Structure 1
Amino acid sequence: MTYPPELHTAVATHPYPLVFATVSGAHLYGFPSADSDWDLRGAHLLPARDLLGLHEPAETLEVNRDERIELDLVTHDLGKFARLLLKRNGYVLEQLLSPLVVHTTPAHAALMDLAPRTVTRWHAHHYLGFSTNQWSLLEKEERARVKPLLYAFRTVLTGIHLMRTGTIEANLIALNDTFKLPYLNDLIALKVGGAEKEPLPDPLDRYRAEHARLMADLERARDNAPLPDAVDERVVNALSDLLVRERLATP
């Protein structure tokens, strides 16, 4: 993928050294509209002096830019990112393992090597909760939109895939190569060819039973997953050692 120059500028002008920056959101999920914003996510390193004083450090940096394109940049300090990685957080797994890489480092590669060993069966709860929230948003809309419906399906399918394989797949087109749900390709085409707030042409009821079925499949996949209940302490120690090495190397 060719990235707009604004993404490279955002990386180059970040106030702290970046461990990585990847594209998330609709571009990662496989259904960006022409007017979709760019979601750039990653991890940075705060200098040790910022962490040693009395003042609480700002561990998360958010930058919103509305120039030629709309850009939303969010990065966490590596320490916070590592803690989130250990808390069955699907967001950070998807950001870390996104194939849409704008900036990378050896520390990013080390994190990616450790990432599969942080996955537990309880990551299913992240995807169950996310998909439930998206469906709730749909129920509240006067006229349901395509985007939250795709998010509802994307999250539940990513969760099922993770429980069955232990690997992350956030792209809905790739997921549907496996799940082969006939309505998804039409919905994706509608979103990609339309606008970010494209209305759903069908009644929401058409998809209700199907979403409920997939949610039940995710619960079964969680119960039968060949995954541990907790992260091995050796993985926690490896993440801690990585953080210390990178922190000490940061001016």
Structure 2
Amino acid sequence: MTNIREEIITQLHRIEEEENVRILYACESGSRAWGFPSQDSDYDVRFLYLRPLDWYLSIDEGRDVIERPISDRLDLSGWDLRKALRLFRKSNPPLLEWLQSPMPYLEKYTTAEQIRRISPLTFSPKSCIYHYLNMAKGNFREYLQGDQVKIKKYFYVLRPLLACSWIEKYGTMAPMEFDVLVERLIPADSELYTAVQTLLARKKAGDELDYEPKVGPINAYLEEQIAYFEQAAVLQPSGGGSKDVGLDALFRGALREVWGE
């Protein structure tokens, strides 16, 4: 991991030089952060960055995303801080996940921690549950129909549905780590727990996990939870009522901290 981490940081510094930006925060966002990578999984690096003051004073808005083609299993892309804060105000789940990633690569300045501190003020259980529910339904519909299913895709339906359960139960953003969700939300003496742990052990061991017969306990749980949250999502609190959380001041403060007065 040390060599790939050094390469990721090198690439982030290269982006800073090529784009004339400063990267405030960077983390792992995909299956490696979730805890169920395949041996050939990409490194999904996501970052927040800030451009110099003059860029924001133009009468035309510039592109607010930086992306690099996937190369050597590195998938790097980032959002301009202004874009990120606009999405943060709407309780954007991917951004909230990035900020609590268990695999941070870089965190300079105080901006990311300031956003974390005020995240409860904008967090919307309802919008986040709908996000995860739609993700689960899409993957379930595409990969888990018929007698033979693409078995590794169970994780891509399980995780968002467990995130829904976490949000409903605790009223906070769900942790990224799949193991934490399983241990807190699935009874250890259940048939479902055994089936999930068996499948997870196979995936971590590098098994192919291609098309196989359905796993009964997992399939039943997914169908039950999708049906449940289709009804329960609308009853969740909207939250995110605090719109005046000082995002303009946070943004201006970040500009001063990064670029000076």
- How does the TM-score come out when normalised to structure 2? 0.83
Q: Can you give the 5+ residue segments of structure 1 that lack an aligned partner in the other structure?
A: none
Q: Is the 8 A contact 1:93 1:168 kept in 2?
A: no
2:222 maps to: 211
Q: Percent identity?
A: 23
1:174 lines up with 2:180 in the alignment: yes
Matches within 5 A, 1:1-251: 2=2, 4=4, 5-15=6-16, 16-67=21-72, 70-105=73-108, 106-122=110-126, 123-139=128-144, 144-165=149-170, 166-180=172-186, 181-194=193-206, 198-203=209-214, 207-218=218-229, 222=233, 225=236, 227-235=237-245, 238-251=246-259
| Distance change (3 Å), C-alpha of 1:143 and 1:81 | farther
Aligned residues: 245
Could you tell me how far 1:128 is from its partner in structure 2?
0.9
Could you tell me how far 1:228 is from its partner in structure 2?
4.7
Letter in 1 for 2:182: N
Using the alignment, how far apart are the partners of 2:36 and 2:202 within structure 1? Answer: 9
Root-mean-square deviation (CA, aligned residues, Å) is 2.6
| Distance change (3 Å), C-alpha of 1:249 and 1:233 | same
Using the alignment, how far apart are the partners of 2:83 and 2:234 within structure 1? Answer: 29
1:183-228: per-residue Cα shift (whole Å, max 9, x none)? 2112212222226x63143326664331021224445664665x55
Letter in 1 for 2:68: V
Could you tell me how far 1:103 is from its partner in structure 2?
0.7
Q: Is the 8 A contact 1:124 1:159 kept in 2?
A: yes
Larger radius of gyration: 2
| Distance change (3 Å), C-alpha of 1:249 and 1:142 | farther
Letter in 2 for 1:160: S
Q: Is the 8 A contact 1:22 1:102 kept in 2?
A: yes
Q: Can you give the 5+ residue segments of structure 2 that lack an aligned partner in the other structure?
A: 187-192
Q: Is the 8 A contact 1:164 1:221 kept in 2?
A: no
| Distance change (3 Å), C-alpha of 1:143 and 1:80 | farther
Q: Is the 8 A contact 2:68 2:75 kept in 1?
A: yes
Could you tell me how far 1:157 is from its partner in structure 2?
0.4
Q: Is the 8 A contact 1:42 1:96 kept in 2?
A: no
Q: Is the 8 A contact 2:165 2:185 kept in 1?
A: no
Q: Is the 8 A contact 2:90 2:240 kept in 1?
A: no
Q: Is the 8 A contact 2:65 2:79 kept in 1?
A: yes
Using the alignment, how far apart are the partners of 1:66 and 1:198 within structure 2? Answer: 25
Q: Is the 8 A contact 2:102 2:176 kept in 1?
A: no
Using the alignment, how far apart are the partners of 1:100 and 1:205 within structure 2? Answer: 33
